[in-house]
Amino acid sequence: MKPNPALARLSRVVGTWTTIGKHPHFPGRTLHGWAAFEWIEGGAFLVMRTKMEDPEIPAGVAIFGTDDKQGDAFMLYFDERVVSRKYDVAIQEDGLSWSRSTPAFSQRFRITIGHDGRTMEGRGEMSKDGSPWEKDLDQSYTRAP
């Protein structure tokens, strides 16, 4: 199968990353884990797998794809809590972001790729029941050797 050209800019994130994060629901705790991005089906899709060492943070998997007729990208996410969500994705030169907006719970997350290609910074926000946006997961990524 041929690679999806609309996802080509995501090639910079492909690989395994160690992660260190903070989450407002776990004050004072540093969260350690990993994230792995890999092409599947010859580059038709990108899969992201995540796992934190902390048992309270669920392992998850997401698949990035596009709809060439609508010109947009999206991410389908699933985790071990049996949570399944669809996010809209924007791919930028320096990274990517995803977001979802629902009346009960909205989220947005932005990953910025460092100039050296060996680090990334992720910043998340959430809104519950239409309330103002507040901090969610913040995560630093370092490319694994």
pLDDT of residue 97: 98
pLDDT of residue 45: 98
Alpha helices in 29-142 (DSSP H): none
For the chain, give the percent of residues with pLDDT over 90.
94
Full domain range(s) for residue 75: 5-143
How many distinct structural domains can be found in the chain? 1
> For the chain, how long is the longest CA-to-CA vector?
46
pLDDT tens digits along 48-97 = 999 999 999 999 999 999 998 777 999 999 999 999 999 999 999 999 99
pTM comes to 0.94
pLDDT band at 145 (very low <50, low <70, confident <90, very high): confident
Q: Flag whether pLDDT at 34 surpasses 90.
A: yes
pLDDT band at 37 (very low <50, low <70, confident <90, very high): very high
* CATH number of domain containing 116: 2.40.128.20
| Element housing 114 (H / E) | none
Distance CA 113, CA 111 (A): 6
